[in-house]
């Protein structure tokens, strides 16, 4: 999505007699985001308006409405709140919490690669948001740095839950071949059969973690098709392999293992959902904070499928390593240091 504060026909309009469009913030492939004022409650909100044509199909309108209502029921500090939804001049819109700050993409561009501690610190709130959504039966389908918002005091929030699902239902088989989900973070199964579940979000999150640790995406290509092909046919390398190539110090083996587990091409070999991943991630953070270096037994916990396939076990040769899920879904706010956000305002990246 590109930032854009230029004139726009909707600027100055009042949607549903309530939401006064003040300024255009950003435009993406399927929606434009505006800063708006809620005249009834007297507060600043973000309004995401779908592009013309997306709301023409009645079935899509029903799916859009259902997804918006489901996301509005989510109550988690790491999820961008949805306040309202509706249609104006035939175009669906969503009214959301306004987050002033920047996106994770901005941080990656300025600062990546991050230290392992900082990378895990940034990704944990994202995983916590997914855990809450997955417990409620919601799948994001478009996890990427542009959909992760960083507030002025470092708070992390994930935007666009459910939106990709509604649009995919209408467009995934369309003649123009649109596949929802930025191609760099696209799980293989969404490319091959159009199906996504909680494990698909885990794959995309693993790619984001890889990028935080290495400063680059796992695959590049001249066309989106080439990148999508790589996701289907190649295995994302451990971050340490890329870091050595770029003359950076490698990360502990259990962080490599966690990243590889998330990005396995076979969905059933990834963490099963955000709750599962959150437990593993917090265990890795605790080990890192305690100064633990390479630890094969901890690596087995992070990526048990790899150790089962190679018959490598923790402890005795017959002892199977399993992940114990002890963390509650409700999560604490990650204590992230404040970032310098002068002059930046963003309210959810439209895909």
Q: How far apart (Å, rounded) are the C-alpha atoms in residues 236 and 251?
A: 15
| Cβ atoms of residues 112 and 211 within 8 Å | yes
| Cβ atoms of residues 240 and 205 within 8 Å | no
Q: How far apart (Å, rounded) are the C-alpha atoms in residues 184 and 38?
A: 36
Q: How far apart (Å, rounded) are the C-alpha atoms in residues 197 and 138?
A: 9
Q: What are phi and psi of 94, to 5 degrees?
A: -125, 135
| Ranges of H-type helices in 290-347 | 296-302, 304-309
Q: What pLDDT sits at residue 195?
A: 86
- Rounded-to-10 torsion of CA 131, 2, 32, 28: -70
| Cβ atoms of residues 141 and 165 within 8 Å | yes
For 217-240, the pLDDT digits (tens) are 999 988 889 999 999 999 999 999
Query: At 91, is the secondary structure helix, strand, or coil?
Result: strand
| Cβ atoms of residues 45 and 98 within 8 Å | yes
Q: How far apart (Å, rounded) are the C-alpha atoms in residues 284 and 293?
A: 11
Q: What are the chain's domains?
A: 2-97 (3.30.200.20), 102-309 (1.10.510.10)
Q: What pLDDT sits at residue 96?
A: 92
- Rounded-to-10 torsion of CA 322, 324, 330, 335: -80
**Strands 31-38 vs 102-103: parallel, antiparallel or unpaired:** unpaired
Q: What pLDDT sits at residue 53?
A: 67
Dihedral over Cα of 164, 165, 166, 171: its sign: positive
Q: How far apart (Å, rounded) are the C-alpha atoms in residues 118 and 267?
A: 27
Q: What pLDDT sits at residue 338?
A: 33
Does 76 participate in catalysis according to the annotation?
no
Contacts of range 192-195, beta carbons closer than 8 Å, 24 or more positions apart: 192/232, 194/168
Q: What pLDDT sits at residue 8?
A: 82
Scan for tokens 């809620």, then name that residue: 38
Q: Which of 142, 201, 253, 256 is catalytic?
A: 142
Around Cβ 251, how many Cβ atoms within 10 Å? 23
Q: What are phi and psi of 313, to 5 degrees?
A: -125, 160
For 254-298, the pLDDT digits (tens) are 999 999 999 999 999 999 999 999 999 999 999 999 999 999 999
Q: How far apart (Å, rounded) are the C-alpha atoms in residues 132 and 146?
A: 20
Cis amide leading into 91 (omega within 30): no
- State which residues of the chain have pLDDT below 50: 1-5, 166-179, 311-351
Reduced DSSP (H G I as helix, E B as strand, rest coil) percent helix, strand, coil of the chain, to 5: 40, 15, 45
């Amino acid at each position: 999505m590109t930032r854009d504060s230029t004139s726009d026909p909707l600027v100055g309009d009042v949607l549903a007699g309530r939401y006064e469009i003040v300024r255009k913030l950003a435009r993406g492939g399927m929606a434009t985001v505006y800063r708006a004022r809620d005249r009834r409650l007297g507060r600043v909100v973000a309004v995401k308006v779908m592009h013309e044509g997306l709301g023409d199909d009645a079935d899509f309108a029903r799916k859009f409405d259902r997804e918006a209502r489901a996301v509005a029921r989510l109550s988690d500090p790491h999820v961008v709140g949805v306040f309202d939804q509706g249609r104006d001049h035939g175009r669906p819109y969503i009214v959301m919490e306004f987050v002033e700050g920047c996106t994770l993409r901005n941080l990656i561009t300025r600062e990546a690669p991050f230290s392992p501690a900082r990378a895990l610190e940034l990704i944990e709130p994202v995983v916590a948001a997914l855990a809450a959504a997955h417990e409620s039966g919601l799948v994001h389908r478009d996890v990427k740095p542009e959909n992760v918002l960083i507030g002025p005091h470092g708070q992390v929030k994930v935007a666009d839950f459910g939106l990709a699902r509604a649009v995919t239902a209408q467009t995934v088989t369309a003649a123009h071949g649109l596949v929802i989900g930025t191609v760099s973070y696209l799980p293989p199964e969404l490319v091959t059969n159009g199906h996504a579940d909680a494990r698909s979000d885990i794959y995309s999150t693993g790619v984001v973690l890889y990028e935080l640790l290495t400063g680059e995406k796992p695959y590049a290509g001249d066309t989106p098709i080439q990148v999508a092909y790589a996701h289907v046919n190649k295995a994302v390398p451990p971050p340490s392999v890329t870091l050595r190539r770029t003359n950076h110090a490698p990360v502990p083996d259990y962080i490599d293992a966690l990243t590889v587990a998330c990005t396995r091409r076979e969905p059933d070999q990834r963490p099963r959902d955000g709750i599962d991943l959150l437990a593993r991630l917090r265990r890795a953070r605790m080990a890192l904070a305690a100064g633990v270096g390479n630890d094969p037994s901890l690596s087995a916990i992070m990526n048990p499928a790899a150790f089962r396939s190679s018959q490598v076990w923790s402890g005795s040769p017959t002892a199977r390593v399993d992940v114990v899920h002890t963390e509650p879904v409700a999560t604490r706010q990650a204590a992230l240091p404040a970032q310098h956000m002068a002059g930046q305002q963003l309210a959810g990246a439209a895909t």
